[in-house]
């Protein structure tokens, strides 16, 4: 499969501008491309598709890449079929996946990715690239008929992965506990992607990018930490 993916944990790290921390990697992903199709369905903070698109357009414009929002086309499926590259932005994962199904974009997106079209996601857009949305941190503010996601990779992703705060008195579950509970009901590996981290997938090869290690959870055994230099390719062979 000629996959070409950049899966980014968060669009904005503390103290940097929108997409700024990922700029070099985005430029590599989109080398030779002049345009990108933006899918703003996740609507962070409930903003409109057009407002969200304007924000993304501004970032890509400075890199000489013309960005259009999928909602600007009469035929969303055709827009995906003809896109040079696709970017799905963050926001609410349930709202995003529901709209992808409603507009019948799930299969066309899978097909274009199989053909080698560059795909990038941030946060919710990274979460939906995984097997299911079952490891999102988002609130389930709308119902979606299935949690099966785009399945561009055969594992799940937990973006904005957060280590436990030892000083906290809050009794909510830690992220590790939540993912362990996930593995009582699901088999696929989960990659906890800290803010500032990215996964770069080319064909059947995967690489961790960014300053932090990733935390990998298998169905059995203890969570494992992987540095950017370490081999993560076993994740691509997951069932």
Which member of 21, 138, 183, 212 is catalytic?
A: 138
Exposed/middle/buried for 222, CB within 10 Å: 0-12, 13-18, 19+?
exposed
Could you say whether residue 180 binds a copy of itself (CB under 8 A)?
yes
DSSP codes, 70-94: GGGSS-HHHHHHH-S-EEE--S-HH
Count the residues of the shown chain that bind a copy of itself, applying the rule CB under 8 A.
Answer: 44
> Nearest distance from residue 210's CB to a copy of itself, in Å?
14
Look at residue 107 and give its three-state secondary structure.
helix
- Residue with token string 């990659």: 191
**What tokens appear for 197 in the block?**
């981290």
Residues 31-70 interacting with a copy of itself (rule: CB under 8 A):
43-46
Asked about 168 being catalytic, the answer comes back as no
Could you say whether residue 24 binds a copy of itself (CB under 8 A)?
no
Residues 130-149 interacting with a copy of itself (rule: CB under 8 A):
133-143, 146-147
Sheet holding 156-161, edge to edge: 156-161, 190-194, 214-217, 224-226
Asked about 204 being catalytic, the answer comes back as no
DSSP label of 173: P
Asked about 160 being catalytic, the answer comes back as yes
Which member of 11, 123, 197, 212 is catalytic?
A: 123
Which member of 21, 160, 183, 212 is catalytic?
A: 160
Binding mask 82-111 for a copy of itself (x = CB under 8 A): ---------xx-xx----------------
Q: Are 149 and 97 in contact (CB under 8 A)?
A: yes
Q: Are 41 and 100 in contact (CB under 8 A)?
A: yes
Instruction: Enumerate binding residues for a copy of itself (CB under 8 A).
Output: 10, 12-15, 43-46, 91-92, 94-95, 133-143, 146-147, 160, 162, 169-173, 177-186, 195
């Amino acid at each position: 499969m000629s996959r070409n993916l950049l899966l980014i944990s968060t669009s904005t790290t503390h103290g940097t501008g929108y997409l700024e921390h990922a700029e070099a990697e985005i430029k590599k992903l989109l080398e030779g491309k002049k345009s990108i199709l933006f899918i703003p369905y996740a609507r962070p903070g409930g903003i409109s598709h057009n407002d969200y698109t304007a924000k993304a357009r501004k970032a890509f414009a400075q890199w000489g890449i013309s960005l259009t929002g999928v909602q600007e086309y009469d035929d969303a499926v055709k827009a995906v079929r003809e896109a040079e590259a696709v970017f799905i932005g963050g926001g609410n994962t349930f709202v995003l996946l529901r709209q992808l199904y409603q507009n019948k974009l799930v299969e066309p997106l899978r097909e274009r990715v199989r053909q080698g079209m560059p795909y990038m996601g941030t946060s919710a857009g990274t979460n939906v690239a995984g097997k299911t949305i079952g490891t999102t941190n988002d609130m389930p503010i709308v119902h979606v008929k299935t949690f099966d996601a785009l399945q561009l990779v055969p594992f799940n992703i937990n973006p904005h992965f957060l280590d436990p705060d030892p000083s906290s008195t809050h009794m909510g579950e830690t992220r590790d506990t939540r993912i362990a509970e996930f593995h009582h009901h699901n088999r696929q590996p989960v990659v906890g992607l800290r803010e500032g981290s990215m996964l770069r997938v080319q064909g059947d090869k995967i690489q961790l990018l960014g300053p932090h290690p990733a935390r990998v959870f298998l169905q059995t055994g203890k969570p494992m930490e992987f540095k950017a230099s370490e081999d993560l390719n076993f994740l691509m062979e997951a069932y």
